[in-house]
Amino acid sequence: MKFRFRRQGNDPQREKIKQDLFAFNKTVEHGFPNQPSALAYDPKLQLMAIGTKSGAIKVYGSPGVEFTGLHKDTATVTQMHFLHGQGRILSLLDDNTLHLWEIGQREQCSSLEEVCSFTIPCRTAVCASYFSPYSATRVTVLLPKLNCDLLAVGTEGGGVHFLELPSLTLLDKSLFQDEIMQRWEALFVFSLGPVESLQEHPQHPDKILIGYSRGLVVLWDLQTRHVDNLFLGKQQLESLVWERSGNSFVSSHSDGGYMVWSVSSSTPCTNEPVSSTITYGPFPCKAVNKILWRTAESGAPLVLFSGGMPRASYGDRHCLTILQDSQHVTLDFTSRVIDFFTVHCTDAHKFDDPSALVVLLEEELVVIDLQTAGWPTIPAPYLAPLHSSAITCSYHISNVPTKLWERVVSAGQQQGSLQTHTNWPICGGKNLAPDPKQQELMLTGHEDGTVRFWDASGVSLRPLYKLSTANIFQTDCDHNDSLTQAGEEEWPPFRKVGCFDPYSDDPRLGIQKICLCKYSGKLVVAGTAGQVIVLYLSDEKSDHMIDVATVDLLQDREGFTWKGHDRLPPKSGSVVFAPGFQPVVLVQCMPPAAVTAVTLHAEWNLIAFGTSHGFGLFDYHRRSPVLARCTLHPNDSLAMEGPLSRVKSLKKSLRQSFRRIRKSRVSGKKRVQEANAHLAEQDAEVTPVQRRIEPRSADDSLSGVVRCLCFADTFLRDGTHHGPTMWAGTNSGSVYAYALDVPSQEKFSEQSVEALLGKEIQLMHRAPVVSIAVLDGRGNPLPEPYEVSRDLAKAPDMQGSHSVLIASEEQFKVFMLPKVSAKTKFKLTAHEGCRVRKVALVNFSSVASEDYSENGLVCLTNLGDIHVFSIPALRPQVRYDCIRKEDISGIASCVFTKTGQGFYLISPSEYERFSLSARVITEPLCQVRHSERGSGLDGTKITGSSVKNSR
Amino acid sequence: MNRSFNKSQPLRPLELDAVEVKSKYGAEFRRFSVNRVKPGKFEEFFKLIMHIHRIANMEVMIGYADVHGDLLPINNDENFSKAVSTAHPLLRIFIQRQEEVDYSNFGTNTLTRKKKAVVPLRNDLNRKRPHIRIGMPQDFRPVSSIIDVDILPESHRRVRLYRHGSDKPLGFYIRDGTSVRVTPHGLEKVPGIFISRMVPGGLAESTGLLAVNDEVLEVNGIEVSGKTLDQVTDMMIANSHNLIVTVKPVNQRNNVVRSSRISGSSGQSSDSSGSGSFPAITHSPSTATVSHSYAHDDLDSDEESDIVIESSVSRPSRRSNTSHVHLQTSSATPSPPSPPTRPQSRPPSVISTASFHSQPSLNGTAHNSLSYRLHRDLNLQQPHYHSTSTRESNGSLHKILSSLRTDPRNSLALPPGGVEEDGMVITL
């Protein structure tokens, strides 16, 4: 009621200010699309499109040019084709519908809009081969003619239908198998099988090559409705490709081979191919799913095909073979090949001269430079496989100083090997976005112990540098290198390509928390086995020992035995470190439970870290522990289990398998889906879900988990002397505040840091403390370390009384310091029924005026909505729905930037970027120029319907 | 102790308005008298008793035989003055040692509040006493109350559960369900939240004010419609220290019948700034409720005070687990600190006898402040009636009881826009 009261009397002036400060936009998706299913390329516009299983189409051009369209139905995009040069995309979904999309331009934004859709009508009369086991109308292949007026559609029934483009109207000139079989008495088969491939003759637009599954290939003349040539292939057909001249074509087959056929008007019926090769024979091989044949001015043609591996020995590999003369490389990927294309000359040239090969894999995009010897990979400026190892945490740094930025970039450049710096081959469209005003770093921690640094300043998330922490521990994975060395000599000539590696050598290496000081280049990385590593950025190679310290967080607490994993054994000798972040100290918490909170104050040379058992303070300059405090509640038994305990993992795996079952059901047909939904409903009604209403109690499990830590220079002991303090908050609503005695800069080495417990606060509602922040006398957050001493930020008000903002899962409270008397509060859960998941203090600047800005408390709740509150008054300002409440991993992964943007994972491999600020928005602004479109759709063009991915 | 008594006790045994007192402790008798008109304070009387019987420093309980021959406790000014004023002609006092007190005879365990842990009060289930026993205000911690009777539809009930200082679990579960609502377009099924289970012995069950299948309409004044089960759960847990749930009871026969006539006749609407407040009553003697609260508890019971432990001793705390601390509550509220860290300051005296009482003098302001807060947005200024009965007038007690009596006609009436009522919840 108080709440409602407060909201009354909306001040119009305040509303205007709020409009200038806050605006919610989902701006761009970073990373690699989840479950890609189709690939298309327009050589004229130089745009690439990726379709996904969720029905999204994402178009990419030169870096910064990207936009998305989403089908109304969540169905897999099975095929996509650009109508070359027109800015139109045809998509085929697995529900057998065809959709035509147009690239539209609204102000500075390109967008993708669906124009029309089409389903082949199921007329029984059309089903010519009724004895066929295939659905007559199920579309197998599409071929939009190069002049974009006609679309040929091959079906499972073996018929080829023709649609007018761009209206998608069925023309009455379908071609059925009977027609072919009647004309050629030589064909005595019952059915030719589904249409497997349709290829337009490169020289004669009226002729198309039709390949049927059973092996027959015909050259069909659209004008005369006549079969020009007939090729009697005997192997099951997989794909066809023309040679540029049109004098020959290549077919690939299910036995792992490919055949070259010559086309001549003199022999209308060819029985034998010019050549037939099974590259990886003679033992049975898997099918060659797709083959490309590209001529080169320099000599022999390039043959590129996917699959075809010897079934017994390498049947499980995901491979793509590049053959040219004697050169032979088998690209060995870690995930399935979805599709691939080459970037090559399409105009009046005599040769294809492919410059690049673009391979879409299930988990990443790999681009190979075909013009440089050795076919190196080209690093992609976007579509970064964020999930090359599962992301375990994310950390964002706004406004990175140029000095640090350059050093990180140069460290990253020294890491790259077997990569060329050829220009990115897909460079359509024009990026209109202004250069980012400031550099932003995104750090992702991964399960394999790596920390990846990404350039998050703009629309495309670019990898900068990769830090691995595994090399300072003794793990089982060390012999891996020797294995790959031995592989050099083997046949086929495998080459590992791509970086997606879902297998973690040791789950204990996983990164849990990251903290970086952007001014000093100090980095703290904390992991699953209680390891806290302090690193500093060095431009030189180094070979040194790492200091190891162990901090006992149990503090002689009796009756506890750790049943979880062991700590990671550090390497004993000296270790070689490449330029970049190099470890200084390794602190290992005992028991080695996962680190749940970490913070760094580089000016004081202190790190603080917490686990489910307690927290510690460590002086990394003197390499000495300052403080360890146990936060365990005596009744807490779960705290000793550890995250990898058997009980939990069994529970988890069961849950996962159930989820998998559910998922597989959903992907089935719609009717099944509905039936299941109905069933689920009934189930829910039979056993209603109950919730127990019980307040949190002190002996709830895992109450000792340290949730947040913070350093602040403030008033803890009395109102006249401020000094360094450290704050820790736990899962049970306890806050511990320590006054620190930090020696001055010169005396760091002689004098040790002292910590004195100043205050202990027990929040009555006992909800987990999510965040603690100290506000200065003006109610502004305290600046970061070094910002004051280096004149980088306005000095905080040290005259007025400071206050501490404690955000728990249920409410926000501001307490005055040093008395810790409650000043303001907001009970979010009591009012809204939602719980606080993530909070951040954010500076919102106004669009109306350069220098007007307000600090706000941004809060993401378990319902996935975002609230903004004023500080220190804690008045609600705005509320936006952001993430689906079922998307737990999305909510858990959300990070906010200091200027009002945020990121969360929409899939294991993609961040959604959003903006809460009306001023600071990072969105793709781009332009695609396409040729005039045909007039087929005058007046019927659907515009204005914004197609946005609303996940 | 004795000295102070001697100084202050105005004993005038020979005066006419003196009441003769016969005090019995074990086999010993003492006789003395007190002033009927100005009996003085209980504290002084207690000291006198202790002095006379020479049992200082013993933990005893004082009881008296009332006009009906019932043994009733004397432990505060009010019941002391009641005992003296009703003494006819002799005031018979019985002193029992704390540990020997037979609770089945004796209403309540009076002096334990500050001294001893709880002794189960209800070992008298077999010896049913037919009448309502009355306890003393101070001895009870409020556990629940019905509030805002005057502003709610009669089919609704707003229940306040006080969990402060109680070791009892709140003890109920909620679930999703479907309720039927009357709309201008006819009956409409809407999702609702219902109480699904009561934990035996829990606070919710012991109040008797909530029952399985009651529909939850509001939590601390916030409507739950449109909220998910998890949201409502979180809201209830966030408010658990002072939970106010508005329910539509599945059993509509015990509804409070609102009638302003009663309020008028009681003539006690003078300080009505908010709304009436009804203590809970029970429908069976075994489930019991006690209502109302201490003024100070109520003043700010919405305000939970976090505990701040300040380290007075500045010493390096590498082993800070044992560092000296002293307790202080941070905000101005004098409510007791949280259970786990505080010393046993207040034994959880659980009151569950089938008793009912009202205590306007103590709770009036407190309730008003709460209900005022709850309803000022509704801007209700209707004269409220108040449970103004005092112990002196048995009549007013009856009035309240009658006001709480069931009125079947009323319970079946459909309040406009309210919930369709047929006494059962339709769950599919």
| Contact call for A690 and B306, based on CB within 8 A | no
Q: What is the pLDDT of residues A446-480, one digit of tens each?
A: 999 999 999 999 888 888 999 999 999 987 655 44
Give me the DSSP letters along A550-562: EEESSTT-TT---
Lowest mean pLDDT among A181-195, A332-346, B407-421: B407-421
- Confidence band (pLDDT; 50, 70, 90) for A309? very high
| Contact call for A760 and B309, based on CB within 8 A | yes
Regarding predicted confidence, which is higher, A754 or B277? A754
With CA atoms as reference, the chain B residue closest to A2 would be B373
Q: Which of A611, A607, A617 is nearest to A590 (CA)?
A: A611
How distant is the Cα of A336 from the closest Cα of chain B, in angstroms? 40
| CB-based contact, A628 to chain B, within 8 Å | yes
H/E stretch holding A15 = helix A12-21
Lowest mean pLDDT among A549-563, A752-766, A921-935: A921-935
How distant is the Cα of A757 from the closest Cα of chain B, in angstroms? 6
Q: What pLDDT shows up at residue A57?
A: 94
Q: What pLDDT shows up at residue A9?
A: 55
| Contact call for B196 and A688, based on CB within 8 A | yes
Nearest to A756 among B172, B314, B427 (CB): B314
Q: Are strands A391-397 and A811-816 parallel, antiparallel or unpaired?
A: unpaired
- Residue B339 tokens read as 């259970």
H/E stretch holding B417 = none
Lowest mean pLDDT among A25-29, A127-131, A573-577: A127-131
| Contact call for B317 and A832, based on CB within 8 A | no
| Contact call for B308 and A755, based on CB within 8 A | no
Q: What pLDDT shows up at residue A794?
A: 83
| CB-based contact, A738 to chain B, within 8 Å | yes
| Contact call for B308 and A767, based on CB within 8 A | no
| Contact call for A694 and B170, based on CB within 8 A | yes
| Contact call for B310 and A759, based on CB within 8 A | yes
| CB-based contact, A886 to chain B, within 8 Å | no
| CB-based contact, A884 to chain B, within 8 Å | no
How distant is the Cα of A2 from the closest Cα of chain B, in angstroms? 8
Most confident of A356-365, A651-660, B271-280: A356-365
| Contact call for B237 and A4, based on CB within 8 A | no
Q: Which of A28, A82, A25, A846 is nearest to A382 (CA)?
A: A28
A390 has pLDDT over 60:
yes
Q: Which of B217, B362, B213 is nearest to B277 (CA)?
A: B362
Q: Are strands A226-232 and A269-270 parallel, antiparallel or unpaired?
A: parallel
| Contact call for A755 and B427, based on CB within 8 A | no
Q: What pLDDT shows up at residue B95?
A: 86
- Residue B281 tokens read as 């009553």
Q: What pLDDT shows up at residue A934?
A: 53
- Confidence band (pLDDT; 50, 70, 90) for B105? low
Mean per-residue pLDDT, B368-386: 39
Distance CA A265, CA A100 (A): 36
Give me the DSSP letters along B298-334: HHTTTSPPPEEEE--S----TTGGG---EEEESSS--
CB atoms within 10 A of CB A687: 8
With CA atoms as reference, the chain B residue closest to A741 would be B316
- The residues in A 399-428 lying below 8 A from B, measured between CB atoms, are none
H/E stretch holding A871 = none
Exposed / middle / buried, residue A703 (Cβ in 10 Å: 0-12, 13-18, 19+): buried
Q: What is the pLDDT of residues B153-177, one digit of tens each?
A: 888 899 988 876 566 788 899 999 8
| CB-based contact, A690 to chain B, within 8 Å | yes
Q: What pLDDT shows up at residue B35?
A: 82
| Domains of chain B with CATH codes | 18-105 (3.10.20.90), 144-254 (2.30.42.10)
Mean per-residue pLDDT, B315-340: 40
- Confidence band (pLDDT; 50, 70, 90) for B320? very low
Q: Which residues does chain A have within 8 Å of residue B320's beta carbon, measured at their own beta carbons?
A: 627, 629, 757
| Contact call for A811 and B169, based on CB within 8 A | no
Q: What pLDDT shows up at residue B423?
A: 29
| Contact call for B237 and A696, based on CB within 8 A | yes
Single-letter residue type at B185 = H
Interface test with A, best of B199, B317, B335 (most A CBs within 10 A): B317
Q: What pLDDT shows up at residue A323?
A: 92
Interface test with B, best of A551, A691, A727, A738 (most B CBs within 10 A): A691
How distant is the Cα of B297 from the closest Cα of chain A, in angstroms? 15
- Confidence band (pLDDT; 50, 70, 90) for A744? confident
- The residues in A 178-197 lying below 8 A from B, measured between CB atoms, are none
Mean per-residue pLDDT, B322-331: 40
Q: What is the pLDDT of residues A75-101, one digit of tens each?
A: 999 999 999 888 899 999 999 899 999
Q: What is the ipTM of this complex?
A: 0.80
Regarding predicted confidence, which is higher, A542 or A947? A542
Regarding predicted confidence, which is higher, A815 or B53? A815
Q: Which residues does chain A have within 8 Å of residue B428's beta carbon, measured at their own beta carbons?
A: 685
Q: Which residues does chain B have within 8 Å of residue A4's beta carbon, measured at their own beta carbons?
A: 377
Regarding predicted confidence, which is higher, B149 or A588? A588
How distant is the Cα of A740 from the closest Cα of chain B, in angstroms? 10
A918 has pLDDT over 90:
yes
| Contact call for B169 and A694, based on CB within 8 A | yes
Distance CA A106, CA A564 (A): 56
Q: Which residues does chain B have within 8 Å of residue A738's beta carbon, measured at their own beta carbons?
A: 317
With CA atoms as reference, the chain B residue closest to A733 would be B306
pTM of the model: 0.76
Find out whether A535 and A522 touch, Cβ atoms under 8 Å: yes
Interface test with A, best of B207, B225, B234 (most A CBs within 10 A): B234
Most confident of A873-882, B150-159, B381-390, B409-418: A873-882
Nearest to B238 among A759, A761, A830 (CB): A830
| Contact call for B175 and A827, based on CB within 8 A | no
- Confidence band (pLDDT; 50, 70, 90) for B412? very low
CB atoms within 10 A of CB A205: 15
Lowest mean pLDDT among A153-157, A619-623, A798-802, B283-287: B283-287
Find out whether A783 and A798 touch, Cβ atoms under 8 Å: no
Q: What pLDDT shows up at residue A538?
A: 93
Lowest mean pLDDT among A588-597, A926-935, B232-241: A926-935
| Contact call for B306 and A764, based on CB within 8 A | yes
Q: What is the pLDDT of residues A535-567, one digit of tens each?
A: 999 999 999 999 999 999 988 777 778 888 899
Q: Which residues does chain A have within 8 Å of residue B340's beta carbon, measured at their own beta carbons?
A: 698
| Contact call for B170 and A695, based on CB within 8 A | yes
Q: Which residues does chain B have within 8 Å of residue A5's beta carbon, measured at their own beta carbons?
A: 376-377
Please give the mean pLDDT across all residues of chain B: 62
Q: What pLDDT shows up at residue A557?
A: 76
Mean per-residue pLDDT, B278-284: 39
How distant is the Cα of A763 from the closest Cα of chain B, in angstroms? 5
A445 has pLDDT over 80:
yes
Q: Which of B127, B128, B103, B126 is nearest to B116 (CA)?
A: B103
For residue A454, the cross-strand partners are A442, A463
Nearest to A757 among B222, B243, B317 (CB): B317
Nearest to A690 among B174, B238, B340 (CB): B174
Q: What is the pLDDT of residues A635-658, one digit of tens each?
A: 666 666 655 444 444 455 555 555
Most confident of A100-114, A195-209, B4-18: A195-209
| Contact call for A833 and B171, based on CB within 8 A | no
Q: Are strands A56-60 and B28-35 parallel, antiparallel or unpaired?
A: unpaired
Q: Which residues does chain A have within 8 Å of residue B241's beta carbon, measured at their own beta carbons?
A: 695, 764-765
| Contact call for B330 and A821, based on CB within 8 A | yes
| Contact call for A829 and B315, based on CB within 8 A | no
Q: Which residues does chain B have within 8 Å of residue A822's beta carbon, measured at their own beta carbons?
A: 305-306, 330-331
A852 has pLDDT over 50:
yes
A106 has pLDDT over 50:
yes
Please give the mean pLDDT across all residues of chain A: 85
B414 has pLDDT over 50:
no
Whether residue A133 has a cis bond before it, omega within 30° of 0: no
Mean per-residue pLDDT, A256-278: 88
- Confidence band (pLDDT; 50, 70, 90) for B416? very low
Mean per-residue pLDDT, A29-42: 93
* CA angle (A484, A489, A494) in 5-degree steps: 60
Longest Cα pair distance anywhere in chain A, in angstroms? 105
Q: What pLDDT shows up at residue B106?
A: 52
Give me the DSSP letters along A658-727: HHHHHHHHHTS-HHHHHHHHHHHHHHHHHS--EEEE----TT-TTTT-EEEEEEEEE-SS-SS--EEEEE
Q: Which residues does chain B have within 8 Å of residue A865's beta carbon, measured at their own beta carbons?
A: none
